[in-house]
Structure 1
Amino acid sequence: MRKQQATRLLFLILSISILACGLGARITYKKLNIVVLNSLSMAMFRIGIVFLVSVVIEYMLAHKIHKGFKYFFRHVIVMNSLELQMIDAGIYIQRGKIFELPKIELSFDKRLDKGILKIRNSIKFDKKLDGMSLSSALERYIVERHYMTDDGNYYIYELLDGSIDFKMKFNSFEEYIKHNEAIPTYSLFLDRRSIVKLQHTLLVGVTGSGKTYCLYNLLLQFFNKSIPYVIYFADPKGSSLAVIGQIIAPDKTAVDMSKIIEQLEEFVFKMRERKEEIKELLKSKLDADYSDFNKSPYIFCFDEYASFVSVLANEDKKTRDKVNGLMAEVILQGRQLGFFMFIIMQKSDANLISTSLRDNIPLKVVLGNSEQQTYVTAFGTGVDIPNRHYKVGEGVFTEPVIASEPKLLQCPFLNFDILEAVRKATPVM
C-alpha cells in the first residue's frame, strides 16, 4: 500500500471508529437514560465527523479540487496511474507493507492540454528517473522533454495532451499571408505553438512523411516578409523544388552537379561580402548580427542532399574538398551574417552529412515514423522521442531555445494551390 493511502486509511478508520463509539454511547444512553453518555456521544459524533470531513477535504485539496471538478478528476486519474506504474517499475522504498514513493507534484494548465510533473530526485533513483519513459503511465499525456532542476533535487517533465490537434489549416494563400504578417521578420512558424528564429535547418523524413509540404510552409513564409529574403534552390533530382525555383528565381536555381557547385560558390562569395560589411557595422554595435542592421537573409535550400552527396563521391578529391569546405564555411559562419543552409534529406547518416556539420545545425526536424537510427543521427543518443504514430506532416524537432529535447510538431495543412501561391509571391532577388 502507498504511504499516502495508508495515512488516509488510518484517519478514515479512526473517524469511523469514533463515530461507531459515539453511536454506541448514544444507544446506551437511550436504554439506560444516563446523562453523561448523552454528552459523550455528542462529543464523539462531532470528533468523528471532523476527522471524516478532514480526510475528504485533504484528499480533494491534494488533487486540487479548487481548480474545478474536471481538473480534479483528471489529476486523480493521472496520479493514480503514475503511482501504480512507478511501483511496478520499482521506484519506491518498501517499509514493511508500505510503499514510499518519491515526492510527486503534478499540475496542468487551465485548458488541461499541458502539464508539469515534478518528481523528487534521490541517489537511489537518479538514473532510473533520468532514463525512464513515463508517457505510458500518464494516460493521455506524453512527456515532451525532461530535465533536472539546478539544485539537482527534482526531475521536471513537461507534459502534452497527446490527443490535442495543434495542426493549422489554411484554406487560401491570403489567409496564410495574414497569419504570416504577425510573425517577426526574422522568424518562422512551424505550427500553431512553435515559432523559431531563422537559422540553419535540417529537415529529415522518409517518402510520404510530409517533408515536401513542410518545406513549402517554410518557403512561402520567405516571400512576404517586410525585409526580402534571397533564396537559392538546389535540387539534384529536378523535382518540385526546382519547379518552384524556376518560377521564383531561375538564375538561382540549379539541378546538375556543376551548376549546384557554382551556385554554392556564388552564395559563399555573397556571404564573404556581407562579412566585410558587417565587420564595419560591428564597430558601432558589438555582439550584433545581420538582423540588428535590417539586412536581408540569404537561404540556400538544398533538397535531396543525399543524392548530391552520392554524385559528389564520384568527383575528384579537389572538387569534394572544395564543396565540403564551402558547406562548412556557411554552416560555421553564416549565423551572424544571415546566410543559412536548409538541408532536406531522407536520412541524416554520417556517411551522407558529416557529424561536425550536422551538430552545428540548430534546427533539426524529423517527420513521419522514422527508424530509431534516424532519430539518433539527427538528435544524438539518450533523447526521448514521444512514442506515437505520426501522421503525414507530423514529427518532432529540436531547437536550442524552445526545444532542447525532441518536441512534437504538426506542420500546417495548406489547402490551396501551392504553385499559384508561388506565382503570387513577390520576393526580391
Structure 2
Amino acid sequence: MLKLFWALPFVLAIGYYSYLNYEQFVAMNYLSMIPVVVFLVLIYPLVSFLHVLAEDRIPLYKRIYRLWLTANFLNEQGFYYEKASGKQGGRSKKKFPKVYLKQGKYDLRLYLGTQGSKFQDRFSRIGSELETTYFMDFMNKIDEEKFVVYELAYSAFLNRIEAKDVVLNDNYELVLSKVVKWSMTENPHLLIVGGTGGGKTVLLREILVGLLKKCIVYIGDPKRADFVPMEDLDVLKGRVFFEKEDIAKMVGDFKQTMNNRYDYMRKIAKERSERELGRFDTYGLKPTILMIDEWNALMASLNRNAKVGGQMIDDLLEIILKGRQVGSYVILAMQKPTYDDLPTKLRDNMMHHISMGRLSDSGYQMTFGDENANKKFRFIERLNGKKVYGRGYSAIFGLPAQEFYAPNLTAGFSFFDIFETYSRIENPHEPNYQGDVDKEDDVETQDLIDLDEPIDLPIQTLSDSTDFKTIGELSKSIGKSFGQIKKLIDVIEKGGFKKFKRDNGKVVLTEEDCLLLEGLFDSFESFDGTWKEMVSIHFDRDADN
C-alpha cells in the first residue's frame, strides 16, 4: 500500500506524458515510446528504494509503516473475526480485535485485547513473532486487566555513546549507552561473553574509562597482551597480573581484601552504635573491582593444577556471594560460559550479562538463560550499508535481552592518554598493602578531602623506637582511621607547625604527640571551620602562652 503511494507520482507522470504524445503513439513512433518503456522498467526498483529510504529517514513514515505491519500481521496470522455478508454470494467482512499501538522514540508498545477474546491464549505467546515482524527486541510482556502488553525496543544504534563518555555516576551505575547501565549495587557482577574478534577486550577497556576514576581495579590478563602494558600506569601499578598462578593469587587476595573491608565496616558500625551494617560507601570506602579477561583460557591453563584452579573457583564464588555489601565486584570476560569453566552457581549470581559479536544458539542460551529461550538473536554485519562493530545484547539476568552497541571509538582516542590523567586510589585493606599494621581506609570527610598531596619530609632514623607509638596503634586507641590521622599529621607538618619523628620512613609518635592529635580530633567536633584553620589557631594559642 505504501509503495503505491510512491508509485502514484510516476504513474501520473507517465500518463501525462502519454497524453501529450498520444498522436505519436498512434502513429507507432517508437522513439517517443522509449521514455515510457524506461519508466515502466525502472518504476519498481525506484519505488522500492524510496520506500526503504523514507522508512529509514522519515520518522512519521516509519510510524505509518508500523501501523501497516501490525494490520498485516493480524491478517496473516488469522487474528480477526469474520462476519458473513447479508447478500447471497457476497464476500464476508473481517474485523480485528481491540489492538492499540503506542510508538515512542526508542520503543514500541503493542496492546492486544484479551477480555473475552478468543485469541487471548495465542496473544500471550507471540513475543518472538513480534520480534521478527517489527525487527525489534522483545523486552517485556505485561498482563493488564483488559490487555496483554508487549514492549519492544528499536533504534539501539541511536543510543550509542562515545568511549570518552563512559562514566560511573553517583548512583554507582556504569553508563554504557543512553539506555544500558550496569548498576553494580543493584545488579552486582558483570559477565561479558563473545567469540574471538567480537569486541570483548575493547569493551573491557572502555569500562575501565568509567571505573578507574572512582574505583580500585585489579586485572587478570592470561593472554599477556591487552592489559599488561597498563601495569606501567600509576593508577594500575602492581594491579595487573598475567601469570596463571599470580592471577589465582590475585583472586585469593581480593577475597581477603573483601573480608578485611567487612571487619573495618563492622568496627566503624560498632563505634557508631549502628544496629545494622550499612553499604560500603557510608563508611567512606571506594568500590573494588576484580576484572579477568579470557576466563576460558585461564581455566584451561590451570587444568594441570587442579588444586590451584579449584581454590580459585572457591575464592571467586565467595566474592560473588558476599561482595555486594562491601563494594567488591567481579567482571569476567570469556568466549563461552560453559559449566566446566564457569559453574552455574557462579554464572547465575553474576547479575548483568552482555554478549558481543556472534554466539552459537547454546552460547546465547547459557548467557541469557531460559527467559530468552524463544528470543530470536540476530547477527547484523552491516547497518545502512556500513560494517557494524561492537554490537551485541545486554540483559539483567532473568529478564529479556536487548540489543546493545558498545561505546564508539572515535579517531584519535587513546586509552592510555585517559588513564594517565587518573589519580591512584590506595587500598589499605589489601593483604600486601605497604603501610602501617592497622590498614585503615582513607575515609573522605569534609574536613580532609581538600588537603593537598602529602609533602616529602626528611627522614629521621631512630636507633630505638620502643617508646613510640605507630599511627596504627594510635588509631586503635582513639577510634580514628589511619587515613584521618595521617592526613592530620600532613596538615601540621605542611603548615610548618611541627615535625614528627620517623623510624625507617614511618611516622612514630611520642606520648605528647598522641595527646596532641587526640585533642585536635576532640576539638574539631565543635569547631566551625577547616582543619587548617583549627590547627593554625591551636599552635598560635600555644605560642602566645
Instruction: Assess same fold via TM > 0.5.
Output: yes
Whether the 8 Å CA contact 1:146–1:155 is kept in 2: the answer is no
1:409 and 2:404 matched: yes
Matched AA of 1:147:
K
Query: What pairs up with 1:226-375 in 2 under 5 angstroms?
Result: 229-247=215-233, 248-280=235-267, 284=274, 286=276, 288-316=278-306, 318-375=307-364
Q: Secondary structure at the match of 1:270?
A: helix
TM-superposed deviation, 1:271: 0.4
RCO higher in structure (CA 8 A, sep ≥6)? 1
**Partner Cα distance (1:106, 1:408) in 2:** 21
Q: Note closer, same or farther for the CA distance 1:322–1:260 as it changes in structure 2 (3 Å cut).
A: same
RMSD: 2.7
Could you tell me how far 1:209 is from its partner in structure 2?
A: 1.6
Q: Which amino acid aligns with 2:108?
A: G
User: 3-state DSSP class of the match of 2:400?
Assistant: strand
When residues 93 and 427 of structure 1 are mapped into structure 2, their CA distance, relative to the original with a 3 A threshold, is farther
Question: Counterpart of 1:135?
Answer: 131
Higher strand proportion: 1
Matched letter for residue 146 of structure 1? N
Q: Which has the larger radius of gyration?
A: 2
Aligned to 2:103: 108
1:169 to 139, 162, 165: 162
2:255–2:319: 8 Å Cα contact kept in structure 1?
yes
2:99–2:111 contact (8 Å) kept in structure 1: yes
Provide closer, same or farther for how the CA distance between residues 180 and 209 of structure 1 changes in structure 2, counting only shifts above 3 A: closer
In the other structure, the counterpart of 1:118 is: 111
Please give the secondary structure, in 1, of the residue aligned with 2:366. helix
Structure 2: distance between partners of 1:298 and 1:221: 13
SS at the partner of 1:191? coil
Aligned-partner residue type, residue 78 of structure 1:
R
Shift of 1:267: 0.5
- Letter of the 1:103 partner, please give it: K
1:87 equivalent among 53, 75, 95: 75
Q: Which amino acid aligns with 1:126?
A: D
1:142–1:386 Cα contact (<8 Å) kept? no
1: CA distance, partners of 2:178 / 2:191: 20
Please name the residue that 2:183 is paired with. 197
Alpha-carbon distance in 2 for matches of 1:337, 1:424: 27
Aligned to 1:218: 207
In structure 1, distance between residues paired with 2:98 and 2:83: 16
Q: Which runs of 5+ in 2 are unaligned?
A: 1-57, 85-91, 382-387, 427-545
- Name the CA distance, whole Å, in 1 between partners of 2:198 and 2:71: 36
Equivalent positions of 1:368-383 (< 5 A) are: 368-383=357-372
State the secondary structure of the residue aligned to 1:424. Answer: coil
For residues 343-376 of structure 1, the C-alpha deviation after alignment (integer angstroms, 9 at most, x for no partner) is 0111112222111110100110001122221110
Separation in 1, partners of 2:156, 2:313: 43
Q: Matches of 1:405 and 1:281 in 2, distance apart?
A: 40
CA distance in 2, matches of 1:130, 1:107: 20
Q: Which one is further off, 99-108 or 70-79?
A: 70-79
- Does structure 2 conserve the Cα–Cα contact (< 8 Å) formed by 1:144 and 1:386? no
Query: Could you tell me the percent identity over the aligned residues?
Result: 19
Residue 421 (1) aligns with residue 418 (2):
yes
- Distance of aligned partners of 1:137 and 1:422 in 2 relative to their CA distance in 1, 3 Å threshold: same
Unaligned runs of 5+ residues in structure 1 are 1-69, 171-175
